[in-house]
């Protein structure tokens, strides 16, 4: 309808002009003039037409439907529960993944500590080897103790024979 109105206006403009000499010249001129007149209105491959429609919907009132309202409330409650359950599931899943990573990190830490402990035990065994201690003592100019040179805390002198003794144990009431 809008294109027909525009075509009618173009036709009136064309008829108001002087016709060109000859039929083929007038058709070519007419087409050229139509094309130039449409160029300003053209945007892309086809001309766009806009019509202003003044519609007043202020008096329209939506009818209240109690069944629809109840249905929408039920649907909303169902969706809230579904969303809540989904979020709880996702939270549990992510928490279990995090716990798994923590457990693996602690396993690696325990394994590293075991290896460090094993290395320390080997170092202790090497350092407390009697042959090594004896070699270091000789390098420092230390000799084996002479008989009677070592005194024990109980007052006995080393190098003398010691008799086995039994001490009586008393239990207190």
Mean pLDDT, the chain cut into blocks of 10 residues (173 residues total)? 54 55 75 77 63 82 89 97 98 97 97 97 92 89 79 67 69 64
- Give kind and range of the element (H or E) at residue 34: helix 23-39
Total of domains in the chain? 2
115, part of any domain: yes
Last residue of a domain, one of 11, 35, 61: 61
10, part of any domain: yes
Q: Are residues 89 and 35 in the same domain?
A: no
1, part of any domain: yes
Task: Give the tokens for residue 122.
Answer: 């080997």
pTM: 0.41
113, part of any domain: yes
166, part of any domain: no
Range of the domain at 12: 1-61
Q: Are residues 15 and 51 in the same domain?
A: yes
Cα separations in angstroms, 158 against 114, 117, 138: 41, 37, 22
Predicted local confidence at residue 156, as pLDDT: 62
Predicted local confidence at residue 20, as pLDDT: 46
161, part of any domain: no
Q: Are residues 80 and 50 in the same domain?
A: no
Cα separations in angstroms, 104 against 9, 55, 94, 96, 108: 83, 68, 15, 12, 6
164, part of any domain: no
53, part of any domain: yes
Q: Are residues 54 and 14 in the same domain?
A: yes
Q: Are residues 84 and 114 in the same domain?
A: yes
């Amino acid at each position: 309808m809008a294109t027909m109105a525009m075509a009618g206006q173009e036709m009136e403009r064309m008829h108001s002009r002087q016709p060109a000499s000859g039929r083929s010249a007038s058709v070519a001129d007419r087409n050229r003039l139509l094309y130039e007149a449409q160029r300003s209105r053209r945007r892309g491959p086809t001309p766009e037409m806009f019509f202003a429609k003044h519609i007043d919907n202020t008096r329209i009132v939506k009818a209240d439907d109690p069944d629809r309202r109840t249905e929408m409330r039920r649907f909303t409650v169902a969706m809230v529960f579904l969303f809540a359950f989904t979020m709880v599931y996702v939270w549990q899943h992510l928490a279990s993944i995090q716990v798994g990573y923590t457990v693996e990190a602690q396993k690696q830490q325990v394994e590293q500590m075991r290896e460090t402990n094993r290395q320390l035990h080997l170092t202790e065994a090497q350092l407390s080897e009697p042959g090594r201690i004896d070699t270091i003592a000789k390098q420092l100019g230390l000799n084996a103790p002479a008989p009677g040179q070592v005194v024990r805390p109980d007052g006995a002198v080393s190098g003398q024979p010691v008799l086995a003794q039994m001490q009586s144990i008393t239990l207190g009431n």
